[in-house]
């Protein structure tokens, strides 16, 4: 790894925070405006040709989306993760498709799962969830459990053969509500407490991009 | 898209017509569809259609304890589940700031390489079947079953082992396991000539596979192709060697490459890789008995286990290419976000669409299988 070259490229950007996490891993925090410029100089000057992934993280409490671009250089043998944050209410960002072709897939995935629109990305359309019209499901304010409770009717499963077994003294030994983990899990949830505070929100329906 | 929602497209005065390949067809291990626009038997345009295996794993993981997720991760790729467990465990370990004991790392390598052998045997068979040769498929699946027997022996599960845990592996290898493994490797090596005669140098197969689905080195880099598909284009890169994890830097192995980037080169790279995996396993067999010590670094009570806030991006080399996990913790008892970057995300969507353009329809299934894509990695 040519540390000098990479440091030179990174330090040319304003308001940058560089963390050397371990060997061959660099974390970079930049403002949203300078992200494309940084990726462009990384690709052009230090041959960061391989876009490993684009990740989106929903920080609902800070009202932000974090976008993370993981790029790898075959020559420098180094992976740089570029972190940036955008406002959650205006979930729009510029596409990096002109720099990295695989961005097509990742940006489409993020658009579908988080609702972040990428300006300039060639295929901002549905891919995996073609028959889903609700809120993007990976957002933290989408509660899958509440959606299931609201959408599906639970039915008692008690067929004749099970009834016969129960009459003979057999049947289901441990009821779902008696499972040790189930109770514990319910008490331990951290996200659920926040989510229950927003119970008045309609889940999964009426969301428009 | 559900078949009942699909409307056939009327294309007016043109010789072109549109057909739907899949979601069930011989070209892929799982459910995955491809919409093809054809002119005669030449593909004008291919559009992938995924989502048949979407189970929302990333969302599910956010609602479960760190330890419970170990039961979910291997299900993301059925033919090669071991790298999933290891990558997730490595990511959690990196956030925790702990490292698995050295013996556990050797056992993990053993599990990874066995899984690679199983996955490659499955792929040979499947690839041959797309050209109409069914015997290699029976042989491949039968030999893979012997590997699965070993998995059952030392992990308890044939396909999904759930053998890893952040901090190490769950249990010690059983008595006499290394001899059994050694016998299996002898057997697999003795099959080399049979496989070569039946498949790799068989003119019926070679003539079908040569020159099909050619991917140049530049295009491979452009589309972020990794793993055997990248090495088949002549680019010498392997995460195990160039970004080493576990104890891969202490092992001796070659990174096989080919030059032409077609379906034939890709299967040859996998064939060579299988024998490199055998070579690695032989080193594990020699070295493992001399490494004593624990197999687990203690972790807190998994039911009330808060992983400190932080994030980790961990890459491993699965049989299909670069597999990465991005795990974020907010200091809670569950992951805040887990992003799975499967190699097939790149191979099965954009690369596939690029390669089928201009191909003949009888080669489409072969092109798909030669990329060794795993649809559940795309859908998650």
Residues B18 and B153 placed together within one structural domain of the fold: no
Interface residue of A53, A123, A204 to substitute, partner B, most B CBs within 10 Å: A53
pLDDT of residue A190: 47
The DSSP secondary structure of chain A, one letter per residue, reads --HHHHHHHHHTSTT-EEEEEETTEEEEE--GGGHHHHHHHHHHHH---EEEEEEEEEETTTTEEEEEEEEEETTTTEEEEEEEEEESSS-EEE--TTT-TTHHHHHHHHHHHH--EEET-S--S-SS-TT--SS-TTSTT--HHHHHHHHS-------HHHHHHHHTT-S-SS-GGG-HHHHHHHHH-SHHHHHHHTTTSPPSSS---
Domain ranges, residue B239 = 57-379
Interface of A to B at Cβ within 8 Å reads 22, 24-25, 49-53, 55, 57-58, 68, 70, 72, 74, 77, 79, 81, 100-102, 104-106, 113, 127-131, 137-138, 144-145, 181, 184-185, 188-191
- Residue B331: give its domain's CATH number: 1.10.645.10
Residues B149 and B40 placed together within one structural domain of the fold: no
Q: Return the structure tokens found at B298.
A: 């203690």
Residues B124 and B161 placed together within one structural domain of the fold: yes
User: Out of A100, A105, A190, whose CB is closest to B333?
Assistant: A190
Predicted TM-score (pTM) of this structure: 0.86
Which pLDDT tens digits describe chain B residue by residue (380 residues)?
Answer: 666 776 666 666 777 888 888 777 766 667 888 888 888 888 988 888 888 888 889 988 888 888 888 988 998 888 889 999 999 999 999 998 888 999 999 999 999 999 999 999 988 888 888 888 888 888 988 999 999 999 998 888 888 888 998 888 988 888 889 999 999 999 999 988 888 888 888 888 888 888 888 989 888 988 989 989 999 998 888 888 888 888 888 888 889 998 888 989 999 999 999 999 999 999 999 988 898 888 888 888 877 788 888 899 999 999 998 999 999 998 888 899 999 998 988 888 889 999 999 888 888 888 888 888 888 888 88
Instruction: Single out the residue of B48, B43, B17 nearest to residue B30, CA to CA.
Output: B48
How many domains does chain B divide into? 2
pLDDT of residue B146: 92
Instruction: Single out the residue of B372, B338, B276 nearest to residue B27, CA to CA.
Output: B372
Q: Return the structure tokens found at B82.
A: 């071991």
- Please give the Cα distance from B124 to B311 (Å, whole number): 37
Instruction: Kindly state the average pLDDT of the residues A67-86.
Output: 90
pLDDT of residue A177: 62
Has the ipTM of the complex gone over 0.95? no
Before B23, cis peptide (omega within 30)? yes
* Residue A106, Cβ density class (10 Å: 0-12 exposed, 13-18 middle, ≥19 buried): buried
Residues B83 and B125 placed together within one structural domain of the fold: yes
Domains of chain A and any CATH numbers: 3-119 (3.30.460.80), 144-197 (no CATH)
Alpha carbon of A25 to those of A163, B154, B290: distances in Å? 60, 34, 32
B58 vs A contacts (CB less than 8 Å): 113, 138
Residues B146 and B210 placed together within one structural domain of the fold: yes
Does A122 have pLDDT greater than 60? yes
The answer to whether the CB atoms of B350 and A25 lie below 8 A apart is no
Residues B85 and B26 placed together within one structural domain of the fold: no
Residues B38 and B66 placed together within one structural domain of the fold: no
Residues B71 and B7 placed together within one structural domain of the fold: no
Question: Cβ of B304 under 8 Å from any chain A Cβ?
Answer: yes
Does A133 have pLDDT greater than 90? no
User: Out of A55, A131, A137, whose CB is closest to B326?
Assistant: A55
Does A186 have pLDDT greater than 60? no
CB atoms closer than 10 angstroms to residue B282: 14
The answer to whether the CB atoms of A77 and B242 lie below 8 A apart is yes
Does A37 have pLDDT greater than 80? yes
Residues B227 and B254 placed together within one structural domain of the fold: yes
Does A157 have pLDDT greater than 80? no
B252 phi, psi to nearest 5 deg: -105, 120
Residues B10 and B125 placed together within one structural domain of the fold: no
The answer to whether the CB atoms of A55 and B337 lie below 8 A apart is yes
Residues B23 and B78 placed together within one structural domain of the fold: no
């Amino acid at each position: 790894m040519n540390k000098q070259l990479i440091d030179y490229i990174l330090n040319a950007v304003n308001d940058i925070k560089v963390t050397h996490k371990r060997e061959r891993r660099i974390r970079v925090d930049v403002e949203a405006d300078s992200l494309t410029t940084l990726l462009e100089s990384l690709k052009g000057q230090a041959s960061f040709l391989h876009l490993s992934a684009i990740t989106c993280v929903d920080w609902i409490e800070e009202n932000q989306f974090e976008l993370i671009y993981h790029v790898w250089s075959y020559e420098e043998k180094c992976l740089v993760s570029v972190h940036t944050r955008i406002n959650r209410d205006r979930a729009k960002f510029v596409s990096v498709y002109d720099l990295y072709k695989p961005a097509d897939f990742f940006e489409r995935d993020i658009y579908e799962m988080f609702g972040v629109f990428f300006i300039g990305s060639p295929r901002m359309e549905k891919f995996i969830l073609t028959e889903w019209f609700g809120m993007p499901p990976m957002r933290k304010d989408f509660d899958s459990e509440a959606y299931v409770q609201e959408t599906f009717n639970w039915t008692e499963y008690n067929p004749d053969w099970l009834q016969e077994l129960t009459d003979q003294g057999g049947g289901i030994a441990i009821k779902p509500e008696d499972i040790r983990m189930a109770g514990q899990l319910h008490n331990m949830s951290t996200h659920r407490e926040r989510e229950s505070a927003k119970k008045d929100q309609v889940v999964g329906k009426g969301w428009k991009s | 898209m559900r078949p009942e929602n699909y409307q056939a497209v009327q294309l007016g005065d043109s010789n072109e017509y549109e057909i739907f390949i899949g979601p069930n067809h011989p070209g892929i291990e799982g459910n995955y569809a491809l919409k093809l626009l054809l002119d005669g038997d030449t593909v004008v345009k291919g559009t992938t259609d995924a989502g048949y295996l979407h189970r929302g794993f990333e969302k599910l993981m956010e609602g479960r304890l760190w330890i419970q997720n170990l039961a979910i991760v291997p299900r993301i790729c059925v033919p090669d589940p071991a790298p999933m467990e290891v990558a997730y465990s490595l990511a959690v370990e990196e956030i925790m700031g702990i490292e698995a004991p050295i013996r556990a790392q050797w056992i993990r390598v053993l599990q990874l390489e066995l899984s690679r052998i199983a996955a490659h045997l499955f792929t040979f068979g499947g690839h041959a079947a797309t050209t109409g040769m069914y015997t290699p498929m029976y042989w491949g699946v039968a030999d893979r079953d012997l590997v699965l027997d070993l998995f059952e022996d030392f992990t308890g599960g044939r396909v999904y082992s759930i053998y890893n845990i952040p901090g190490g592996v769950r249990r010690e290898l059983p008595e006499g396991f290394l001899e059994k493994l050694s016998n299996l490797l002898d057997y697999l090596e003795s099959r080399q000539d049979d496989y070569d005669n039946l498949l790799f140098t068989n003119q019926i197969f070679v003539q079908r596979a040569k020159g099909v689905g050619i991917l140049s080195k530049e295009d491979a880099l452009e589309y972020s192709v990794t793993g055997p598909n990248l090495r088949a284009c002549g680019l010498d890169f392997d995460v195990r060697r160039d970004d080493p994890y576990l104890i891969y830097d202490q092992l001796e192995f070659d990174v096989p490459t080919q030059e032409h980037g077609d379906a034939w080169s890709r299967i040859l790279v996998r064939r060579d890789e299988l024998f490199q995996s055998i070579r690695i396993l032989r080193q594990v067999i020699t070295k493992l008995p001399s490494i004593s010590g624990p197999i687990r670094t203690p972790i807190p009570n998994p039911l009330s286990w808060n992983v400190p806030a932080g994030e980790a991006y961990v890459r491993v080399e699965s049989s299909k290419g670069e597999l990465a996990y991005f795990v974020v913790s907010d200091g809670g008892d569950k992951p805040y976000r887990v992003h799975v970057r499967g190699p097939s995300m790149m191979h099965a969507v954009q690369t596939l669409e690029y390669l089928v353009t201009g191909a003949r329809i009888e080669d489409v299934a072969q092109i798909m299988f030669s990329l060794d894509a795993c649809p559940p990695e795309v859908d998650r």
